[in-house]
């Protein structure tokens, strides 16, 4: 059974710092991996999607990498800003499972202090 783990559960950094969020998964037979952002009281917004054949994806100050063999993904945020404060979740979609069945980690709550 696929399990997704995110460490740390919470992270507080000063504004301007570069940071890395970690995600690990137990079954490497994934179709893709996504990083989402969730603001308090809001739904999820997809940030980056990495197909299993890809190694990384970039969007602005965000860069996500994927190492399927080791079951790991990282989300790199450059020059963090207070507006980046949110919970970041990663989710994997397995091969062979029900299409669209995303398995989520419990998230890393990021606080960027001015």
Partner 1 sequence: DARVTQTPRHKVTEMGQEVTMRCQPILGHNTVFWYRQTMMQGLELLAYFRNRAPLDDSGMPKDRFSAEMPDATLATLKIQPSEPRDSAVYFCASGLTLLGGKETQYFGPGTRLLVL
List residues binding partner 1 (CB under 8 A). Answer: 31-32, 41-46, 49, 89, 91, 93, 98-107
Closest Cα to residue 113, out of 10, 43, 3?
A: 10
Beta carbon nearer to partner 1, 15 or 39:
39
Query: Taking a C-beta distance cutoff of 8 angstroms, is the pair 104, 89 a contact?
Result: yes
Of residues 80 and 105, the one with the C-beta less far from partner 1: 105
Task: Name which of 90 and 112 has its Cβ closer to partner 1.
Answer: 90
SS3 category, 97: coil
Interatomic CA distance for residues 73 and 67, integer angstroms: 6
Report in angstroms how near the CB of residue 14 gets to partner 1 at its nearest.
Answer: 27
């Amino acid at each position: 059974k696929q399990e997704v783990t995110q460490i740390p559960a919470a992270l507080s950094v000063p504004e301007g710092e570069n940071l890395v969020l970690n995600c690990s998964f137990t079954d490497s037979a994934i179709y893709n991996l996504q990083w989402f952002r969730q603001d308090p009281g809001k739904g999820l917004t997809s940030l980056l999607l990495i197909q299993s054949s890809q190694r990384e994806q970039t969007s602005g100050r965000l860069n996500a990498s994927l190492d399927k063999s080791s079951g790991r993904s990282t989300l790199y945020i450059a020059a963090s800003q207070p507006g980046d404060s949110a919970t970041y979740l990663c989710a994997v979609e397995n091969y062979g499972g029900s299409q669209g069945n995303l398995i989520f980690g419990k998230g890393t709550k990021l606080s960027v202090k001015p």
